[in-house]
Structure 1
Amino acid sequence: MRYLFKRFIYSKSLQKSFPQQHRAAHSVEKKTTNESFCTNYCISLVEKNDYENYLCTLLLNGEQRRHAFALRAFNVEVANCGAKVSEEHITKLKLKFWYDSVDKCFASETSYVEDHPVLRELKNTVNANKISKIYLKRLVTARDRPSNQPFLTVKQLEEYADQVFSSLFHLLVELNGIKDIQVDHAVSHLGKSQGITTLLRAIPYKGRNQALNIPHEVLIKHGVSQERVMREKTGDKGVEECIFEVATVAHQHLEKARSLMDKVPRDARKLFLPSIAVERYLERLRQASFRLTDQKCLQRDTMLPMSLYWHKLRNRY
């Protein structure tokens, strides 16, 4: 099923969106080849690191798909700055590189950017679209926090999700040239929902020296320690109640985003398809009695491609 989905969406549509240019001049052929390499690099990077959003992005059309992959690839690179890094100052140096690169991408069209396929694609996206620099910078600055720094309140968790995930959705909406307060409202709630859900899903993979993504106020309310969450024994009602409370916040934001669907232009609704992945995960989590390490929650959702395609056909999210 996954193979058929990729064959139908990826192989056919991408070939139409990014045709090979048969030019007589060698320089033009080289430029086309380089652009193709950068585009494919971004697509592969998102597929490897952000599979569910990769599927959602495949369902976009033409140049919009290419620019959306550039934005998501940039987000992946920033998110991976702290991966396999034991010292915080190294993470900060990596983040500074991407932060400074944003300014270079927004300089004149002919200005130089580092010879990095993601930056070259991002530069192309910035030149072709009116997108806000502030959202790209927020993607970087929001992640400039120590890995052992916990969220003290649910509000802090929501603010972090909004800064990272909503910022990316704002950029995707700008690709469509949409500037509407109701759409921005829906984007904010969807970003918070996906962000909180993603942070929950990351808990089983946390290291001992890393802070959990459950706010301290929730742990204290239910009398649960971080160690109990890490162990997560079957039948630990306190841990399940903590997960339930945080998952409920994500679900409330999802429902709010969907309540605004009629305010979102039909052509832009496909940008909200990640809501389907969020909903399906939260439902699996409910069926697993809010145990994050249950196999239902850890395994890949094999029916997600078909569900996404069905919702795209119906123009709903």
Structure 2
Amino acid sequence: MTQALNKFAWPRSYKPVTSQCLPRFYSTPTYSAPAPAAASEAEVLSAKSYCSGLLQKFDSPSHTLLAFIPPSAQPAYLALRAFNIETSRIADTVSTPTVGAMRLQFWRDNVNRSFSGTPPKEPVSILLSHALADLDARTGGTAKMSKSWLMRIIGEREKYLNNAPYPTLESLEKYGENTYSTLLYLTLQALPMGSVTADHIASHVGKAVGITAVLRGLPLVAFPPPPNHHSNSSPLGGTLDAQRRSQGSVTLPLDVMARTGVRDEDVLRKGAEAEGLRDAVFEVATRASDHLITARQMLKNVYAGEDVDHAFEYDGEEGHDYEGQTNKGPGKATQQQEEVDRAFGVFMPAVATGLWLDKLQKLDFDVFREELRRRDWKLPWKAYFAHRRRMF
């Protein structure tokens, strides 16, 4: 301060008063940055609209099936499905896995901030944070959504950023468990629902959905659209990874390709006419169908008052602690039926998946047929009757 005062031409007889001469009557308070305010109602409504539009554009079956989710859990459903779209598209929209990893880290940070109640000004994060706060308010803090499950989804996406093929059919199943099954677990938590039976059914449904999603995306990954050379995401230079990405890749499990004699270079050159491709698609689709059949049989057992026919393999893992729940005991059959009734809307992706697999079978497992990429006009009606009958 003295230096600043000395810049002026003071009269010789005048001695400026510096801060050292002033008596201190108070201490300067220490200020901290205020915590970010919660999202406004207008921001939440805008976030809902954004997430709904994202589903309409990239995941129309999930948008249709929103109607079967209880209204109180619909914001969480929209946020989770939009989060799934945003993270799943990264591998197809970036030039290199390094850029993809950076974007996934962005979503990790967003999840952390959403769970801390200070979401960034980003629609999916705003709606997720709102859904978390609403769940806390509805249940008095007794029900939570698992942040680790969202991180699991991100971690699984990161493993396949370069669209590499799955080593085995079992690894493809694990991918379905760690992505689509986990989405269903999170949606069940948003109801809220903590049931070993509901999670068990959701596990099989999610695996079927995940496996089918890979089959549906196979033509687009094998023959990606030309890059936008005016975009910042366009590859600079002729890196091997960029060349591989522009040429496409075949994401079928390697063990299935070996058994059926499929070579990825044949698929990239001949498309649907590649030798053994339909046999490989048939084997993968059969595994997805098996999970739907298992889930359907479990529903039949529950509504018949019987035990499910096998144990839940993830019981006891993080997020799957059911405080001593079992599938046996007096009154358990009635309790299971009530739980499944409440949770049934979460299982509805099984309807859309079943319709697509049926269409694939009618087309002789030619996964490149254009009909498989069209919206199924029967889904709303099939979903309505499935929900009404509590059977898919």
- CA distance in structure 2 between the partners assigned to 1:148 and 1:198 by the alignment: 13
Q: Distance in 2 between matches of 1:251 and 1:162?
A: 15
Task: State whether residues 41 and 117 of structure 1, in contact with CA within 8 Å, keep that contact through their aligned partners in structure 2.
Answer: yes
- 2:222 and 2:250 in contact (8 A); partners too: no
In 2: Cα distance, 1:301 partner to 1:241 partner:
25
2:152 to 118, 133, 138: 138
Q: Does 1:32 align with 2:17?
A: no
| Alignment equivalent of 1:124, drawn from 122, 126, 130 | 130
1:213-249 CA distances to partner (integer Å, 9 max, x unpaired)? 2111111112110133342345x66211111000000
Equivalent position of 2:314 in the other structure:
none
CA contact (8 A) 2:153 2:179 kept: yes
Q: Is the 8 A contact 1:285 1:296 kept in 2?
A: no
Q: Which runs of 4+ in 1 moved over 4 A?
A: none
CA distance in 1, matches of 2:371, 2:204: 26
Structure 1 stretch 54-63 or stretch 69-78: which is displaced more? Answer: 54-63
Pairing partner for 1:189 from 197, 201, 204: 204
CA displacement, residues 159-211 of structure 1 (integer Å, 9 cap, x when unaligned): 11110111100001111222122222111111110000010010111146343
> Residue 38 of structure 1 contacts residue 118 of structure 1 at CA under 8 Å; is this kept in 2?
yes
Alpha carbons of structure 1 residues 253 and 138: separation in structure 2 relative to 1, 3 Å: same
CA apart distance, 1:147: 1.8
Q: TM-score, normalised by structure 2?
A: 0.69
Q: Percent identity among equivalent residues? A: 28
Which of residues 54, 62, 79 in structure 1 aligns to 2:88? Answer: 79
User: What is residue 307 of structure 1 aligned with on the other side?
Assistant: 382
Number of the residue aligned with 2:348: 273
Change (3 A) 1:81 1:187: same
Matched, 1:211 2:217: no
Which of 285, 303, 309 pairs up with 1:247?
285
CA RMSD of aligned residues (A): 1.8
Pick one of 53, 61, 64 that aligns with 1:52: 61
2-structure distance, mates of 1:105, 1:148: 29
Contact 2:153/2:178, CA 8 A, preserved across alignment = yes
Write the letter of the residue equivalent to 1:232: G
**1:295 maps onto 2:362 in alignment:** no
Residue 315 of structure 1, CA deviation = 2.8
- 1:165 maps to what in 2? 180
Q: TM-score, normalised by structure 1?
A: 0.84
Stretches of structure 2 lacking an aligned partner (at least 5 in a row):
1-38, 136-143, 224-243, 303-335
SS in 2 for 1:244: helix
User: Which residue number corresponds to residue 23 of structure 1?
Assistant: none
Determine the C-alpha separation between the residues in 2 that align with 1:82 and 1:232: 21
Q: How far apart are 1:58 and its partner, in Å?
A: 2.7
Q: d(CA) in 2 for partners of 1:121 and 1:43?
A: 11
Q: Label 1:104 to 1:306 Cα distance change in 2 as closer, same or farther (>3 A).
A: same
Q: Deviations over 1:252-281 (max 9, x none)?
A: 011111222224521211111110111111
Corresponding residue SS for 2:120: coil
Q: Does 1:260 align with 2:335?
A: no
Aligned length: 284
Deviates more, 1:201-210 or 1:130-139: 201-210
Once residues 313 and 106 of structure 1 are traced to their aligned partners in structure 2, the CA distance between those partners, rounded to angstroms, is 35
